[in-house]
Amino acid sequence: MAEKKEEKKVEKKSEPKATKGMVKVNYMKPRGDKSKDIKVSLNGQIYHIPYGEDVEVPIGVKEIIDDSIKAMENAEIYEEEHII
């Protein structure tokens, strides 16, 4: 008699970072900024995050915004240190 082979379940590949979870954010409007929201594109989807409101966004969107804010802060520090 032929033995039945056990079928192995194929695990799904890990989901993209943006769909693993949601996180609540609230970003304050930078001084001098005239826009009403932050626009972020992740995996072909565009997100509009309004300033000053609690909203839930994918973790990847939060990371993009936080990295952008950190880069702007570093640029300002660099400019201050290297003014002739």
Residue 12 pLDDT: 41
Assess if residue 46 is contained within a domain: yes
Rounded to 5 degrees, what angle do the CA atoms 57, 61, 65 make?
115
Residue range 12-32: average pLDDT?
73
Q: Is the pLDDT of residue 3 over 60?
A: no
Alpha-carbon gap, residue 7 to 50, rounded angstroms = 49
Which amino acid belongs to residue 8? Answer: K
Please state the domain count of the chain: 1
Percentage of residues in the chain with pLDDT exceeding 90?
Answer: 56
Question: Any idea what DSSP says for residue 72?
Answer: H
Establish if 66 belongs to a structural domain: yes
**Better-scored residue on pLDDT, 50 or 5:** 50
Q: Give me the torsion for CA of 32, 38, 39, 42, rounded to 10°.
A: 140
Which range of residues forms the domain containing residue 22? Answer: 18-81
Residue 42 belongs to some domain of the structure: yes
